[in-house]
Amino acid sequence: MERKRIIQELSTPAGEELFQEAEEVCKRYIGEQVYIRGIIEFSNYCFRDCLYCGLRRSNKRIKRYRMREEEIVSLAEKIILCGIKTVVLQSGDDMGFSAETLSRIISKIKKRHPEVAITLCVGERDFEDYKAFKDAGADRYLLKQETSNPSLYARLHPGQSLKKRLEILEYLKRIGYQIGAGNIVGLPGQRIEDLADDLLLLQALEVDMAGIGPFIPQQDTPLANFAPPGLDLTLRVLALARIITKNAHLPATTALATLDPQRGQILGLRIGANVLMPDFTPEGYRERYTIYDNKRRVDLEEAKKVVRKARKKFSTDRGDSLKNRSSFQKTGREEISSQSVFERRRYACAD
Ligand code: SF4
């Protein structure tokens, strides 16, 4: 899809045609099923300082927690006992969990349940750590870039760069992970053109999955006084992501449920999303995982209701990547730099 058309679609309130097109693409490339991933938020420590996030290190009001190793493994067991075949382990960028400890947790789960997929969402680490996690049995890695605009990225993520983020994503892909990126809709300072580039970047990265959700302010952050975007804009970005990526897995995010508790996720599933991630983080912890305010709790029962109301099929299958990686592997290139991602993005713009 041309950049011009994307900008046009994002600049005008959505007509039904866009949503219908996204739904048709979803039916053709994915089907009617909604894949369920059970998520455990095992630590809210983070040494980074992202301006929009309540877990940022400068937030002294948050009560921090780290789950114990056995606690995490037994929560994974609980997810698997529900028949769910993807376990997502998520935390802030917490180096309090060494590569050794996390690898041990992963391999304990995989030894008992080799049929289950493990997705990691633990931020930026040393390159050796990603390899260690992969060797321990991790299958997928989520590392959202949040924005494709390098200067906005640098402003929102002190001390970090978009270039590095993209290099990591390429590395993760190269060592065999299914990768997930994604972006926030409605970030303060974001332009419609940035959103169009966010979508083209997902295409250029050939992501296996992409998490796209609205910006929701958190009271203890520097962006506390900024308003979230409208539901319509968020849904348009999601619908365009479906049309552009075709078969990437796209969750109807918890942030979408927070933005509009009644309709957010149901509409998300109707216009192209195909994944829900019910939260298995126990009480006592989950209220403290305050990445944004009023985070809605979507548990397994709620996820079932949402799928029913969206008139889709509930699936506990692994829901692995639908991308064909052979062309990527055939290149035999040792180094794929972030520059090449931008090159491909340019080609994508010229489509
Ligand atoms: S967005 Fe991620 S890396 Fe940034 S402060 Fe929050 S948890 Fe940490």
- Ligand 1 atom nearest the C-alpha of 123 is 3
pLDDT tens for residues 130-152?
999 999 999 999 999 999 999 99
Query: How high is the pLDDT of residue 327?
Result: 41
Cα 96 to middle of ligand 1, angstroms = 15
Predicted confidence (pLDDT) at residue 340 exceeds the cutoff of 70: no
* Residue range 4-13: mean pLDDT, rounded: 92
Query: How high is the pLDDT of residue 347?
Result: 36
pLDDT tens for residues 264-275?
999 999 999 999
Cα 45 to middle of ligand 1, angstroms = 9
Per-residue pLDDT band at 324 (split at 50, 70, 90): confident
- Atom 4 (ligand 1) nearest CA: 50
Closest CA to 203 of 171, 240, 165, 174: 240
Residue 189, phi-psi category: left (phi > 0), alpha (psi -120 to 50), beta (remainder): left
Q: What's the structural domain count of the chain?
A: 1
The Cα 289–Cα 323 span in angstroms is 32
Probe residue for ligand 1, chosen from 44, 51, 56 as the CB with the greatest number of ligand atoms within 8 Å = 56
Predicted confidence (pLDDT) at residue 209 exceeds the cutoff of 70: yes
Predicted confidence (pLDDT) at residue 62 exceeds the cutoff of 60: yes
Query: How high is the pLDDT of residue 351?
Result: 33
- Ligand 1 atom nearest the C-alpha of 49 is 5
Query: How high is the pLDDT of residue 336?
Result: 38
Cα 273 to middle of ligand 1, angstroms = 24
Average pLDDT, the chain: 93
- Atom 7 (ligand 1) nearest CA: 92
Per-residue pLDDT band at 16 (split at 50, 70, 90): confident
Cα 171 to middle of ligand 1, angstroms = 21
Cα 333 to middle of ligand 1, angstroms = 32
Query: How high is the pLDDT of residue 341?
Result: 53
Q: What residue numbers bound the domain in which 259 lies? A: 3-350
Probe residue for ligand 1, chosen from 45, 47, 50 as the CB with the greatest number of ligand atoms within 8 Å = 50
pLDDT tens for residues 85-96?
999 999 999 999
pLDDT tens for residues 301-317?
999 999 999 999 999 99
Per-residue pLDDT band at 14 (split at 50, 70, 90): low
- Atom 2 (ligand 1) nearest CA: 92
Predicted confidence (pLDDT) at residue 330 exceeds the cutoff of 70: no
* Residue range 213-223: mean pLDDT, rounded: 98
* Residue range 9-35: mean pLDDT, rounded: 93
Per-residue pLDDT band at 17 (split at 50, 70, 90): very high
At 91, list the tokens: 């935390």
- Domain of 105, CATH number, reads 3.20.20.70
* Residue range 72-87: mean pLDDT, rounded: 98
Predicted confidence (pLDDT) at residue 350 exceeds the cutoff of 70: no
Probe residue for ligand 1, chosen from 46, 65, 168, 215 as the CB with the greatest number of ligand atoms within 8 Å = 46
The Cα 148–Cα 141 span in angstroms is 19
Cα 44 to middle of ligand 1, angstroms = 9
pLDDT tens for residues 238-270?
999 999 999 999 999 999 999 999 999 999 999
Cα 46 to middle of ligand 1, angstroms = 6
Q: For ligand 1, which residues put their CB under 6 angstroms from it?
A: 46, 48, 50, 53, 55-56, 92-93, 123, 291
Query: How high is the pLDDT of residue 182?
Result: 97
Query: How high is the pLDDT of residue 348?
Result: 41
pLDDT tens for residues 166-207?
999 999 999 999 999 999 999 999 999 999 999 999 999 999
Cα 187 to middle of ligand 1, angstroms = 15
Predicted confidence (pLDDT) at residue 222 exceeds the cutoff of 50: yes
